[in-house]
Structure 1
Amino acid sequence: MGRLSRPRAFELLPWLPTVVGVVVLVGLLVFALVSLRPDDREPARPPAQADTPPFLAGPSVPDTPTSTPAVATPEATLNSPRRPTPSPSLSRAIETPARRPPAPAPDLTGRYRTVQTFDGGFIGEVLVTNSSNAGRKWTVRLRFPPTIGPMRTFWVESAPQATLKQEGEVFAFTGSVPVGARGSVALRFQFDRRNAVTTPLTCDVNGTACTALPAE
Protein backbone atom coordinates (compact mmCIF):
# COMPACT_ATOMS: atom_id res chain seq x y z
CA MET A 1 0.00 0.00 0.00
CA GLY A 2 1.17 3.45 -0.65
CA ARG A 3 1.38 6.08 2.05
CA LEU A 4 -1.22 8.89 2.30
CA SER A 5 0.17 12.11 1.20
CA ARG A 6 -0.16 15.04 3.57
CA PRO A 7 -1.43 18.35 2.15
CA ARG A 8 1.23 20.78 1.69
CA ALA A 9 1.32 24.20 3.33
CA PHE A 10 0.92 26.14 0.14
CA GLU A 11 -2.19 24.12 -0.66
CA LEU A 12 -3.88 25.35 2.58
CA LEU A 13 -3.24 29.05 2.06
CA PRO A 14 -6.34 29.73 -0.06
CA TRP A 15 -8.61 28.44 2.78
CA LEU A 16 -6.92 30.33 5.56
CA PRO A 17 -9.00 33.56 5.34
CA THR A 18 -12.21 31.54 5.29
CA VAL A 19 -11.22 29.56 8.36
CA VAL A 20 -10.20 32.71 10.24
CA GLY A 21 -13.53 34.39 9.35
CA VAL A 22 -15.51 31.39 10.53
CA VAL A 23 -13.58 31.32 13.81
CA VAL A 24 -14.20 35.05 14.35
CA LEU A 25 -17.92 34.70 13.60
CA VAL A 26 -18.23 31.78 15.98
CA GLY A 27 -16.42 33.78 18.69
CA LEU A 28 -18.70 36.78 18.22
CA LEU A 29 -21.78 34.57 18.33
CA VAL A 30 -20.65 32.95 21.56
CA PHE A 31 -19.85 36.35 23.09
CA ALA A 32 -23.24 37.70 22.11
CA LEU A 33 -25.08 34.73 23.57
CA VAL A 34 -23.15 34.98 26.82
CA SER A 35 -23.64 38.75 27.19
CA LEU A 36 -27.40 38.60 26.41
CA ARG A 37 -28.33 35.89 28.96
CA PRO A 38 -31.22 36.99 31.24
CA ASP A 39 -29.38 35.86 34.40
CA ASP A 40 -26.44 38.17 33.77
CA ARG A 41 -28.47 41.25 32.77
CA GLU A 42 -29.26 43.80 35.50
CA PRO A 43 -32.97 44.55 36.00
CA ALA A 44 -34.12 47.72 34.43
CA ARG A 45 -34.46 50.52 36.95
CA PRO A 46 -37.33 52.98 36.75
CA PRO A 47 -36.32 56.48 35.91
CA ALA A 48 -35.27 58.42 38.95
CA GLN A 49 -37.98 60.72 40.25
CA ALA A 50 -37.28 63.85 42.12
CA ASP A 51 -38.25 63.61 45.77
CA THR A 52 -41.20 65.84 46.54
CA PRO A 53 -40.75 67.85 49.73
CA PRO A 54 -43.37 66.99 52.34
CA PHE A 55 -44.67 70.57 52.51
CA LEU A 56 -45.32 70.61 48.76
CA ALA A 57 -47.34 67.39 48.72
CA GLY A 58 -50.95 68.15 47.88
CA PRO A 59 -54.02 66.45 49.34
CA SER A 60 -54.82 63.04 48.03
CA VAL A 61 -57.58 62.92 45.45
CA PRO A 62 -60.12 60.12 45.91
CA ASP A 63 -60.55 57.67 43.08
CA THR A 64 -64.34 57.94 43.14
CA PRO A 65 -65.76 60.84 41.18
CA THR A 66 -67.31 63.61 43.24
CA SER A 67 -70.50 65.42 42.42
CA THR A 68 -70.07 68.77 40.73
CA PRO A 69 -72.28 71.56 42.13
CA ALA A 70 -74.86 72.75 39.72
CA VAL A 71 -74.24 76.16 38.23
CA ALA A 72 -77.28 78.29 37.64
CA THR A 73 -77.62 79.27 34.02
CA PRO A 74 -78.99 82.67 32.95
CA GLU A 75 -82.13 80.95 31.65
CA ALA A 76 -82.74 79.24 35.00
CA THR A 77 -82.14 82.52 36.81
CA LEU A 78 -84.61 84.36 34.61
CA ASN A 79 -87.27 81.66 34.74
CA SER A 80 -87.10 80.91 38.47
CA PRO A 81 -89.57 82.98 40.56
CA ARG A 82 -88.04 85.46 42.94
CA ARG A 83 -89.37 85.67 46.48
CA PRO A 84 -89.83 89.23 47.66
CA THR A 85 -87.65 90.13 50.62
CA PRO A 86 -89.75 91.78 53.34
CA SER A 87 -88.48 95.12 54.50
CA PRO A 88 -87.39 95.46 58.17
CA SER A 89 -90.36 97.70 58.93
CA LEU A 90 -92.78 95.15 57.42
CA SER A 91 -91.12 92.33 59.39
CA ARG A 92 -91.52 94.26 62.63
CA ALA A 93 -95.14 94.97 61.75
CA ILE A 94 -95.76 91.24 61.20
CA GLU A 95 -93.95 90.14 64.37
CA THR A 96 -95.36 92.90 66.61
CA PRO A 97 -99.14 92.82 66.97
CA ALA A 98 -100.80 96.07 66.08
CA ARG A 99 -101.67 98.10 69.12
CA ARG A 100 -105.21 99.35 69.26
CA PRO A 101 -105.62 103.02 70.00
CA PRO A 102 -106.94 103.70 73.49
CA ALA A 103 -110.67 104.00 73.77
CA PRO A 104 -111.89 107.57 74.06
CA ALA A 105 -112.81 108.75 77.52
CA PRO A 106 -116.54 108.51 78.24
CA ASP A 107 -118.54 111.70 78.32
CA LEU A 108 -120.26 110.80 81.60
CA THR A 109 -118.45 109.56 84.71
CA GLY A 110 -119.56 108.93 88.29
CA ARG A 111 -117.89 109.11 91.72
CA TYR A 112 -119.40 107.32 94.68
CA ARG A 113 -119.00 108.43 98.30
CA THR A 114 -120.69 108.02 101.68
CA VAL A 115 -121.94 111.44 102.77
CA GLN A 116 -123.21 110.58 106.27
CA THR A 117 -123.56 107.54 108.53
CA PHE A 118 -125.80 107.04 111.59
CA ASP A 119 -127.16 104.16 113.65
CA GLY A 120 -128.87 101.72 111.31
CA GLY A 121 -128.40 103.74 108.11
CA PHE A 122 -126.32 106.01 105.89
CA ILE A 123 -126.63 108.57 103.07
CA GLY A 124 -124.68 107.89 99.86
CA GLU A 125 -124.01 109.98 96.76
CA VAL A 126 -123.08 109.48 93.10
CA LEU A 127 -121.71 112.64 91.46
CA VAL A 128 -122.46 112.46 87.72
CA THR A 129 -120.09 114.64 85.61
CA ASN A 130 -120.45 115.51 81.92
CA SER A 131 -117.09 116.27 80.20
CA SER A 132 -118.56 116.93 76.75
CA ASN A 133 -119.75 120.17 75.18
CA ALA A 134 -123.39 119.01 74.95
CA GLY A 135 -126.06 117.80 77.36
CA ARG A 136 -126.08 114.06 78.11
CA LYS A 137 -128.81 111.79 79.47
CA TRP A 138 -127.73 109.66 82.39
CA THR A 139 -128.64 106.48 84.32
CA VAL A 140 -126.99 105.40 87.57
CA ARG A 141 -127.14 101.70 88.53
CA LEU A 142 -126.31 100.51 92.06
CA ARG A 143 -126.18 97.01 93.56
CA PHE A 144 -125.64 96.66 97.31
CA PRO A 145 -124.75 93.65 99.48
CA PRO A 146 -127.60 91.92 101.41
CA THR A 147 -126.62 93.76 104.62
CA ILE A 148 -127.82 97.06 103.08
CA GLY A 149 -131.52 97.90 102.59
CA PRO A 150 -134.25 98.76 102.25
CA MET A 151 -133.94 102.21 100.62
CA ARG A 152 -135.77 105.02 102.44
CA THR A 153 -135.55 107.88 99.90
CA PHE A 154 -133.52 109.42 97.07
CA TRP A 155 -133.20 112.87 95.41
CA VAL A 156 -131.06 114.98 93.01
CA GLU A 157 -129.38 118.03 94.55
CA SER A 158 -130.58 121.36 93.06
CA ALA A 159 -132.00 119.71 89.90
CA PRO A 160 -135.17 118.04 88.64
CA GLN A 161 -135.71 114.71 90.31
CA ALA A 162 -134.81 111.33 88.76
CA THR A 163 -136.97 108.24 88.35
CA LEU A 164 -136.24 104.88 90.02
CA LYS A 165 -136.64 101.42 88.58
CA GLN A 166 -135.58 98.39 90.61
CA GLU A 167 -134.27 95.46 88.51
CA GLY A 168 -133.82 92.58 90.95
CA GLU A 169 -131.01 93.66 93.28
CA VAL A 170 -130.09 96.62 91.06
CA PHE A 171 -131.41 100.15 91.67
CA ALA A 172 -131.56 102.12 88.38
CA PHE A 173 -131.87 105.92 88.72
CA THR A 174 -132.54 107.83 85.47
CA GLY A 175 -132.35 111.62 85.27
CA SER A 176 -135.44 113.42 84.03
CA VAL A 177 -133.28 116.05 82.30
CA PRO A 178 -129.81 115.72 80.72
CA VAL A 179 -126.67 116.82 82.51
CA GLY A 180 -125.52 120.14 81.04
CA ALA A 181 -122.30 120.53 79.05
CA ARG A 182 -119.28 120.54 81.38
CA GLY A 183 -121.72 120.23 84.26
CA SER A 184 -122.53 117.74 87.03
CA VAL A 185 -125.42 116.61 89.21
CA ALA A 186 -125.36 114.86 92.59
CA LEU A 187 -127.71 111.89 93.09
CA ARG A 188 -128.20 111.07 96.80
CA PHE A 189 -130.04 108.24 98.58
CA GLN A 190 -130.66 106.92 102.09
CA PHE A 191 -130.40 103.21 102.94
CA ASP A 192 -130.72 101.17 106.08
CA ARG A 193 -127.74 98.99 107.08
CA ARG A 194 -127.03 96.15 109.48
CA ASN A 195 -123.24 96.61 109.76
CA ALA A 196 -120.54 99.14 108.95
CA VAL A 197 -120.57 98.51 105.17
CA THR A 198 -121.88 101.52 103.18
CA THR A 199 -120.39 100.90 99.70
CA PRO A 200 -122.21 99.16 96.85
CA LEU A 201 -121.02 96.00 95.13
CA THR A 202 -121.35 97.67 91.71
CA CYS A 203 -121.85 101.24 90.58
CA ASP A 204 -121.86 102.63 87.01
CA VAL A 205 -123.07 105.63 84.99
CA ASN A 206 -124.28 104.71 81.50
CA GLY A 207 -122.20 101.51 81.79
CA THR A 208 -118.97 103.18 82.98
CA ALA A 209 -117.85 102.08 86.44
CA CYS A 210 -117.83 104.66 89.19
CA THR A 211 -114.76 105.69 91.12
CA ALA A 212 -114.88 105.53 94.93
CA LEU A 213 -114.39 108.45 97.22
CA PRO A 214 -113.66 108.28 100.97
CA ALA A 215 -116.54 108.92 103.36
CA GLU A 216 -116.86 112.36 104.89
Structure 2
Amino acid sequence: MSGMRRAPRLSNGPVAIVSSPWIVVGAGVVVMVVLLFVALGAYRGRSPVPGGASLPPALPLPSVVAASSAPGLASSSAPVRPGLSVQASGLPPSATAGSVSPPAGRTGAPTVTRSPSRAPQGQPPVSGRYRVVQSFDGGFIGEVLIINSSAQSRGWTVWLEFSGGRLVTAWVEGVPQGTLRQTDGGFSYVSGVDVQPGGSVSLRFHLEQTSGTPRECTVDGVRCSGF
Protein backbone atom coordinates (compact mmCIF):
# COMPACT_ATOMS: atom_id res chain seq x y z
CA MET A 1 0.00 0.00 0.00
CA SER A 2 2.32 2.52 -1.30
CA GLY A 3 -0.42 5.01 -1.70
CA MET A 4 -1.11 5.40 2.04
CA ARG A 5 0.68 8.14 4.06
CA ARG A 6 1.86 7.78 7.64
CA ALA A 7 0.61 10.20 10.20
CA PRO A 8 3.37 12.43 11.65
CA ARG A 9 4.59 11.60 15.18
CA LEU A 10 4.06 14.10 17.93
CA SER A 11 7.11 15.47 19.72
CA ASN A 12 7.89 13.92 23.08
CA GLY A 13 9.09 17.23 24.67
CA PRO A 14 5.80 18.67 26.06
CA VAL A 15 4.61 15.25 27.03
CA ALA A 16 7.80 14.64 29.04
CA ILE A 17 7.51 17.96 30.86
CA VAL A 18 3.85 17.38 31.69
CA SER A 19 4.50 13.86 32.81
CA SER A 20 7.57 14.89 34.95
CA PRO A 21 6.72 17.96 37.24
CA TRP A 22 9.95 17.62 39.20
CA ILE A 23 11.75 19.11 36.22
CA VAL A 24 9.84 22.41 36.71
CA VAL A 25 10.62 22.44 40.44
CA GLY A 26 14.30 21.85 39.84
CA ALA A 27 14.49 24.65 37.32
CA GLY A 28 12.89 27.04 39.81
CA VAL A 29 15.43 26.10 42.52
CA VAL A 30 18.30 26.75 40.11
CA VAL A 31 16.90 30.19 39.24
CA MET A 32 16.59 31.11 42.95
CA VAL A 33 20.18 30.06 43.68
CA VAL A 34 21.44 32.18 40.78
CA LEU A 35 19.52 35.21 42.03
CA LEU A 36 20.95 34.72 45.54
CA PHE A 37 24.53 34.73 44.26
CA VAL A 38 23.84 37.86 42.21
CA ALA A 39 22.49 39.66 45.31
CA LEU A 40 25.54 38.64 47.41
CA GLY A 41 27.90 39.91 44.75
CA ALA A 42 26.14 43.24 44.57
CA TYR A 43 26.29 43.64 48.40
CA ARG A 44 30.04 42.85 48.50
CA GLY A 45 30.70 45.28 45.67
CA ARG A 46 29.73 48.29 47.76
CA SER A 47 32.59 50.51 48.95
CA PRO A 48 33.18 50.26 52.75
CA VAL A 49 33.95 53.14 55.06
CA PRO A 50 37.58 54.42 54.53
CA GLY A 51 40.08 52.94 56.97
CA GLY A 52 37.63 50.28 58.08
CA ALA A 53 36.27 52.56 60.80
CA SER A 54 32.69 52.01 61.80
CA LEU A 55 30.15 54.78 61.67
CA PRO A 56 29.86 56.75 64.98
CA PRO A 57 26.68 56.16 66.91
CA ALA A 58 24.00 58.79 66.61
CA LEU A 59 24.17 61.36 69.40
CA PRO A 60 20.98 61.74 71.46
CA LEU A 61 19.27 65.05 71.10
CA PRO A 62 19.08 67.12 74.32
CA SER A 63 15.66 67.13 75.88
CA VAL A 64 14.13 70.54 76.47
CA VAL A 65 11.70 70.90 79.37
CA ALA A 66 9.13 73.59 78.77
CA ALA A 67 8.77 75.86 81.80
CA SER A 68 5.22 76.68 82.82
CA SER A 69 4.60 80.36 82.38
CA ALA A 70 2.76 82.04 85.23
CA PRO A 71 0.35 84.93 84.48
CA GLY A 72 2.16 88.24 84.35
CA LEU A 73 5.66 86.66 84.33
CA ALA A 74 7.90 86.35 81.27
CA SER A 75 9.40 82.90 80.58
CA SER A 76 13.16 82.52 80.89
CA SER A 77 15.02 82.98 77.62
CA ALA A 78 18.26 81.29 78.77
CA PRO A 79 19.27 78.45 76.37
CA VAL A 80 19.29 74.89 77.58
CA ARG A 81 22.67 73.18 77.33
CA PRO A 82 23.00 69.40 77.00
CA GLY A 83 24.10 67.72 80.23
CA LEU A 84 23.11 70.67 82.43
CA SER A 85 19.93 70.75 84.44
CA VAL A 86 17.94 73.93 84.67
CA GLN A 87 17.57 75.08 88.28
CA ALA A 88 15.03 77.63 89.44
CA SER A 89 16.35 80.58 91.38
CA GLY A 90 14.76 82.02 94.51
CA LEU A 91 13.10 80.36 97.49
CA PRO A 92 11.71 76.82 97.19
CA PRO A 93 7.91 76.48 97.06
CA SER A 94 7.81 75.34 100.67
CA ALA A 95 9.59 78.52 101.92
CA THR A 96 7.33 81.20 103.32
CA ALA A 97 7.88 84.87 103.78
CA GLY A 98 9.63 85.70 107.01
CA SER A 99 10.94 82.15 107.63
CA VAL A 100 14.60 81.62 108.44
CA SER A 101 16.51 78.50 107.37
CA PRO A 102 18.80 76.93 109.99
CA PRO A 103 22.56 77.19 109.30
CA ALA A 104 24.45 74.30 107.75
CA GLY A 105 25.06 71.41 110.12
CA ARG A 106 22.10 72.24 112.37
CA THR A 107 18.59 70.86 112.32
CA GLY A 108 15.30 71.95 113.81
CA ALA A 109 13.24 75.08 113.58
CA PRO A 110 14.95 78.42 114.26
CA THR A 111 14.44 79.91 117.70
CA VAL A 112 12.49 83.15 117.69
CA THR A 113 13.43 85.49 120.53
CA ARG A 114 11.03 88.27 121.38
CA SER A 115 12.15 91.33 123.22
CA PRO A 116 10.27 91.67 126.53
CA SER A 117 7.74 94.42 126.80
CA ARG A 118 8.64 97.33 129.00
CA ALA A 119 6.48 99.57 131.11
CA PRO A 120 5.69 102.92 129.47
CA GLN A 121 8.02 105.71 130.44
CA GLY A 122 6.86 107.45 133.62
CA GLN A 123 4.70 104.52 134.76
CA PRO A 124 5.90 102.50 137.81
CA PRO A 125 6.68 98.81 137.24
CA VAL A 126 4.09 97.74 139.84
CA SER A 127 0.97 99.78 140.53
CA GLY A 128 -2.26 99.36 142.52
CA ARG A 129 -5.94 100.16 141.98
CA TYR A 130 -8.25 100.48 144.99
CA ARG A 131 -12.00 99.74 145.12
CA VAL A 132 -14.76 98.65 147.51
CA VAL A 133 -16.02 95.18 146.57
CA GLN A 134 -18.95 94.94 149.01
CA SER A 135 -20.46 97.20 151.68
CA PHE A 136 -22.68 96.07 154.56
CA ASP A 137 -23.87 97.32 157.95
CA GLY A 138 -20.84 97.96 160.11
CA GLY A 139 -18.12 97.29 157.57
CA PHE A 140 -17.02 96.53 154.03
CA ILE A 141 -14.70 94.38 151.90
CA GLY A 142 -12.10 96.30 149.95
CA GLU A 143 -9.60 95.31 147.27
CA VAL A 144 -6.25 96.48 145.94
CA LEU A 145 -5.45 95.12 142.47
CA ILE A 146 -1.69 94.89 142.01
CA ILE A 147 -0.58 95.13 138.34
CA ASN A 148 2.93 94.31 137.09
CA SER A 149 3.73 96.30 133.95
CA SER A 150 7.42 95.39 133.82
CA ALA A 151 9.20 92.64 131.88
CA GLN A 152 10.15 90.55 134.93
CA SER A 153 8.48 89.00 137.95
CA ARG A 154 8.24 91.29 140.94
CA GLY A 155 7.31 91.14 144.60
CA TRP A 156 5.16 93.85 146.16
CA THR A 157 4.13 95.47 149.43
CA VAL A 158 0.76 97.16 150.05
CA TRP A 159 0.25 99.78 152.75
CA LEU A 160 -3.30 100.77 153.75
CA GLU A 161 -4.26 103.37 156.38
CA PHE A 162 -7.78 104.21 157.54
CA SER A 163 -9.17 106.65 160.10
CA GLY A 164 -9.98 104.24 162.90
CA GLY A 165 -11.71 100.93 162.34
CA ARG A 166 -10.73 97.35 162.92
CA LEU A 167 -9.08 94.94 160.48
CA VAL A 168 -10.78 91.55 160.58
CA THR A 169 -8.65 89.75 157.98
CA ALA A 170 -6.76 90.15 154.68
CA TRP A 171 -6.01 87.59 151.97
CA VAL A 172 -4.78 87.22 148.38
CA GLU A 173 -7.03 85.61 145.77
CA GLY A 174 -5.75 82.41 144.16
CA VAL A 175 -2.10 82.42 145.27
CA PRO A 176 -0.11 81.50 148.40
CA GLN A 177 -0.60 83.98 151.22
CA GLY A 178 1.97 86.57 152.27
CA THR A 179 2.72 88.37 155.53
CA LEU A 180 0.22 90.70 157.25
CA ARG A 181 1.43 93.29 159.78
CA GLN A 182 -0.89 95.62 161.71
CA THR A 183 -0.05 99.01 163.19
CA ASP A 184 -2.05 101.65 165.04
CA GLY A 185 -3.03 103.55 161.88
CA GLY A 186 -3.30 100.76 159.36
CA PHE A 187 -1.67 97.58 158.08
CA SER A 188 0.86 96.35 155.50
CA TYR A 189 0.82 93.19 153.39
CA VAL A 190 3.98 91.67 151.84
CA SER A 191 3.47 89.31 148.90
CA GLY A 192 4.05 85.58 149.24
CA VAL A 193 4.71 85.08 145.49
CA ASP A 194 5.88 87.44 142.78
CA VAL A 195 3.57 88.87 140.14
CA GLN A 196 4.37 87.61 136.64
CA PRO A 197 5.27 90.11 133.86
CA GLY A 198 2.07 91.67 132.58
CA GLY A 199 0.05 89.88 135.28
CA SER A 200 -1.97 91.01 138.26
CA VAL A 201 -3.05 89.79 141.71
CA SER A 202 -5.88 90.85 144.01
CA LEU A 203 -5.41 91.67 147.72
CA ARG A 204 -8.72 91.78 149.63
CA PHE A 205 -9.44 92.77 153.21
CA HIS A 206 -12.35 93.00 155.67
CA LEU A 207 -12.65 96.19 157.73
CA GLU A 208 -15.25 97.19 160.30
CA GLN A 209 -16.35 100.47 161.89
CA THR A 210 -14.67 102.75 159.38
CA SER A 211 -15.22 104.49 156.08
CA GLY A 212 -14.58 102.72 152.78
CA THR A 213 -12.23 105.49 151.63
CA PRO A 214 -8.66 105.01 152.90
CA ARG A 215 -6.48 107.83 154.11
CA GLU A 216 -3.56 106.28 152.30
CA CYS A 217 -3.03 103.38 149.87
CA THR A 218 0.34 102.62 148.30
CA VAL A 219 2.00 99.73 146.41
CA ASP A 220 5.80 99.74 146.77
CA GLY A 221 5.51 103.37 147.89
CA VAL A 222 3.45 104.47 144.83
CA ARG A 223 -0.02 105.88 145.54
CA CYS A 224 -2.95 103.69 144.41
CA SER A 225 -5.58 104.87 141.95
CA GLY A 226 -9.35 104.61 142.28
CA PHE A 227 -10.05 106.73 145.39
- When normalised by structure 2's length, the TM-score is 0.45
The structure with the greater share of residues assigned to strand is: 1
Larger Rg: 1
More contact order relative to length (CA 8 Å, sep ≥ 6): 1
Structure 1 length as normaliser, TM-score? 0.48
